A and B are shown apart, each in its own frame.
Chain A
Amino acid sequence: AQSVTQLDSHVSVSEGTPVLLRCNYSSSYSPSLFWYVQHPNKGLQLLLKYTSAATLVKGINGFEAEFKKSETSFHLTKPSAHMSDAAEYFCVVSDTGRRALTFGSGTRLQVQP
């Protein structure tokens, strides 16, 4: 079975400083991995997606993530945080057995002025 662990439930950064949201996954095959963002009381929006092409994936709003098979990690980064980045972020792994997604528990990002 696939699983994903988000290592931090809350991350707080200052505006203009780098963002690092950590994610480790467990999968018995080469998975597809996603990062989604959710603003308060909203649906989820796809930030980026890895599907065994380039290991460094660029997404929207300046975010990117690097797939590291040896570390089973898929950490999300952004060089410079903006106030509008404050939201909940979910790391997600595909489950080809059920053709559904398995979500991490989420990381709430706070951006301080």
Chain B
Amino acid sequence: DGGITQSPKYLFRKEGQNVTLSCEQNLNHDAMYWYRQDPGQGLRLIYYSQIVNDFQKGDIAEGYSVSREKKESFPLTVTSAQKNPTAFYLCASNLAGSTDTQYFGPGTRLTVL
């Protein structure tokens, strides 16, 4: 089956620890995205990547880092510099360009204790 997988579904971490969220796609998509979702708010763009070995900051990149070493993988690291990391994180991908539909993974809910 083609799709986007995110793991784990639920993640708990202590304050001050870095944590990495996984996102993998087998859709052969060029572009990948990370969004953050907070209660009562829409999705906000953290980072995006249009091609391997290249990525750009979104609207709320502070306290986050990414890498894009392979086309199918786009991991997100939430660092200790992120002041309020508890949220639902969604990964998405598409072929190219914003007019193309983005396909979303099931999300990871991160809770920092």
- Additional A-B contacts beyond A46-B103, A98-B98, A105-B42 (10; CB < 8 A): A41-B109, A43-B105, A43-B107, A44-B43, A44-B90, A44-B92, A94-B98, A94-B99, A98-B58, A101-B33
Closest Cβ of chain B to A35, distance in Å, is: 11
B31 within 8 A of A: yes
Main SS of chain B's interface residues? Answer: strand
Question: Once the chains bind, are B41 and A105 in contact (CB under 8 Å)?
Answer: yes
Report the interface size class on chain A.
20 to 34
Question: Once the chains bind, are A32 and B98 in contact (CB under 8 Å)?
Answer: yes
Q: Taking beta carbons and an 8 Å cutoff, which residues of A are in contact with B?
A: 9, 32, 34, 36, 41-46, 49, 51, 90, 94-96, 98-101, 103-106
Question: Once the chains bind, are A9 and B106 in contact (CB under 8 Å)?
Answer: no
Residues of B within 8 A of A51 (CB): 99
Chain A residue nearest in CB terms to B44:
A103
Question: Once the chains bind, are B98 and A106 in contact (CB under 8 Å)?
Answer: no
Question: Once the chains bind, are A90 and B98 in contact (CB under 8 Å)?
Answer: no
Q: How many Cβ-Cβ contacts under 8 Å join chain A to chain B?
A: 67
Bound together, the chains give a CA A98 to CA B56 distance in angstroms of: 9
Bound together, the chains give a CA A86 to CA B10 distance in angstroms of: 23
Question: Once the chains bind, are B107 and A41 in contact (CB under 8 Å)?
Answer: yes
Contact bitstring B18-45, A, C-beta under 8 A = 1, else 0 = 0000000000000101010000111111
Closest Cβ of chain B to A94, distance in Å, is: 4
In the complex, 28 of the A-B residue pairs with CB atoms within 8 angstroms, ordered by the A residue number, are: A34-B101, A41-B107, A41-B109, A42-B107, A43-B4, A43-B90, A43-B104, A43-B105, A43-B106, A43-B107, A45-B104, A46-B101, A46-B102, A90-B42, A95-B98, A96-B98, A98-B98, A99-B31, A99-B48, A99-B97, A101-B33, A101-B43, A101-B45, A101-B98, A101-B102, A103-B35, A103-B43, A105-B42
Residues of B within 8 A of A103 (CB): 35, 42-44
Closest Cβ of chain B to A23, distance in Å, is: 11
Residues of A within 8 A of B48 (CB): 98-100
Closest Cβ of chain B to A26, distance in Å, is: 15
